Structure 1
Amino acid sequence: MEQVGLAATSDVTLWSLFMQAGLVVKLVMLGLIAASVWTWAIVVDKSLNYGRVRRQLDNFEQVFWSGQSLEELYRTLSDRQTSGMGAIFVSAMREWKKSFERGARAPIGLQMRIDRAMDVTLARESEALEARLGSLATIGSAAPFIGLFGTVVGIMTSFQAIAGSKSTNLAVVAPGIAEALLATAIGLLAAIPAVIAYNKFTADAGKLTARMEAFADEFSAILSRQIDEKLQPSRQAAQ
C-alpha cells in the first residue's frame, strides 16, 4: 500500500496532472492555453506593427519638412495606400482640392471641412492602432477567474474522491489538489503577460496618436494660412 502511494506521488508531472484532471478542468486549461497563445500572437503582431508605424511617421515627417511642395507630395501619395500622417495629409489635401474646384469662397467653412476630414482619418488610424487591445484586457482580467473556477471544480472533485475512498492520506489528496491548482497557474500564466502587454501597447498607441494629432494641428495651421492667401484677393475683389 505504501509503494502504491509513493508511485502516485512520484507521477506528479504537468502532463500527468493534465491527463488526470476531470473534463471541466481540462476544458478550462485548454481554453487558458489558447488564450495565452492568442496573447503572444497579439504581442508579436503589435510589436512589429508599432515599429513599422514609427518608421513610417519618421519617414513622412522627414519628407514633409524637407521643403517639398504640398502639391508634389500630394501627387506622390494620392495614388498609394497611405496610413498614419500620410493618410491625414492626403485626406486634408483631397478636401482642399475638391473645395477649390467647386469654387470655395468661405474660409471658415473650408477650414472646418478640412479639419473634419483630418479628424475622421485620425480616428480611423487611432482605431487601427488600438485594434485587438481589448482582447488583451479581457484575457488579463478574466483568465485568473477562469483558472480559479477550474481550481474550485478540481478541489471539489478531490474532496469527492476523498469521501469515496474514506482516506485522508496525502498520497490520495495531493494529485487532485495539484491538478486543481494547475488551472490557476495556467490562468496566471495567461493573465500576467496580457496585462503587461495591454498597458505597454496602450501607452505606445497613445504616443503614436499624439504624434499624429500634433501633425494634424500643424498642417491645419499651414492650410489656414494658405486659405487666407488664396481667398483674400477674392474677398477684396468682391468688395
Structure 2
Amino acid sequence: MPSLEMSGNADLASSVLSPVTLFLHADMVGRLVMILLLCASIGSWALIFGQFFRSSAANRASRNFEKAYSKAESMGELERFYDRYFGSNDPSARIFLAGMQTAKSAGKVIDHEGERDRLSLSLEDAVAAAVEDMSSPLSSLATIGSVSPFVGLFGTVWGIMHSFSQIAAGGNTAMAIVGPGIAEALFSTALGLFAAIPASIAYNRMSHTIGRFESRLTRFSDRIYITLSRAMDARH
C-alpha cells in the first residue's frame, strides 16, 4: 500500500509539473509570457538553421567563383566573365561585377589616380554590402539572446506574486497549494533560458564566421583591384 501511494503521488506530481499543465494553470499574463518565449525560441532556431544553409551556400558559391576567376588571365577573358555572371547574386561575383562596372566606365580618362580611387571604393562598397546582407539575422538573434532572460524573469516574478496573492486570499501555505504556482513561475525562467542560450551561442558563432567571410571577400577584392588597375593602366 505505501508503494502504491508513493507511485500515485509521483504520477500526480509529474502531471502537475508537465509543461502543458503548467501553461494551462497559469493566468493570462503568465500564458502570454510563455507564448512569447516559445515564439522567440522557434524564431531563433529558424534563424539559426536558415543562416547555416545560407552561409554554406554563399561560401560554396564564392569558392566556385574564385576558382573560375583565377583562370581568367586577360582583359578579354574578364569581359566574357563579366557577361557570363552579370546579374549574379553570389557575394564574390557581385564584388567582381562592381569592380568591372567601374573599370568599364573609366573609358579613356587620364586621371589614373582618380580611377583607382573609384575602383577601390566600389570594391569596398560591394564587400560591405555582401557582409551586411549576410549579417542581417544577427540583430534578431542578439535581441532574442539579451531580452529573453528578462522576459522569463518577469514571468517568474509575476508567477510568484500571483502565488503569494493566493496564499493571502486562502490563508493556506501548504506546498500542495503554492507548489504549482511556484512551478509555473520557474517554468517561465526555464523558457527564457531555453530561448536565450541557443540564440547567444549562435550569435557568437555567426559573428566569427561572418568575420572570416569578410576577410575572405576583402582578400578577393584586393586581387580584383590589382588585376583591374593593371588592365586600366595598360589601356591608356
CA RMSD of aligned residues (A): 1.6
Q: Which moved more, 1:134-143 or 1:11-20?
A: 11-20
Give yes or no for the alignment of 1:88 onto 2:95. yes
Residue in 1 that maps onto 2:109: 104
In 2, are the aligned partners of 1:77 and 1:86 still within 8 Å (CA)?
Answer: yes
Q: Give the Cα–Cα distance (whole angstroms) in 1 for the partners of residues 51 and 169 of structure 2.
A: 51
Distance in 1, Cα, partners of 2:55 & 2:16 = 45
Partner of 2:82: 74
* Equivalent position amino acid for 1:221 in 2: I
- Asked whether 1:64 is paired with 2:69, we answer yes
1:224 to partner: Cα distance: 2.0
Q: What is the 5 A alignment of 1:144-183?
A: 144-183=149-188
Q: Which amino acid aligns with 2:85?
A: L
In structure 2, the residue corresponding to 1:38 is in which secondary structure? helix
**What TM-score do you get using the length of structure 2 for normalisation?**
0.90
Letter paired with 1:18: F
Query: CA offset at residue 8 of structure 1?
Result: 6.8
Structure 1 ranges of 4+ moved more than 6 A: none
Cα distance in structure 1, aligned partners of 2:72 and 2:19: 63
CA contact (8 A) 2:102 2:122 kept: yes
Please state whether the residue corresponding to 2:148 is helix, strand or coil: helix
Question: How far 1:209 sits from its partner (Å)?
Answer: 1.1
Are 1:20 and 2:28 counterparts?
Answer: no
Maintained 8 Å contact 2:51/2:137: no
Residue number in structure 2 paired with 1:133: 138
Retained in 2: the 8 A contact 1:8–1:171?
A: no
Q: Which runs of 5+ in 1 are unaligned?
A: 232-239
Q: TM-score, normalised to structure 1's length?
A: 0.89
- Equivalenced residue count is 224
- SS of equivalent to 1:104: coil
Q: Deviations over 1:134-160 (max 9, x none)?
A: 010011011011000000000000011
Alpha-carbon distance in 1 for matches of 2:32, 2:206:
30
What is the percent sequence identity of the aligned residues? Answer: 37
Alpha carbons 1:141, 1:191 under 8 Å: kept:
yes
Unaligned runs of 5+ in 2: none
Match in the other structure for 1:236: none
Aligned with 1:132: secondary structure?
helix
Question: Aligned partner of 2:217: which letter?
Answer: M
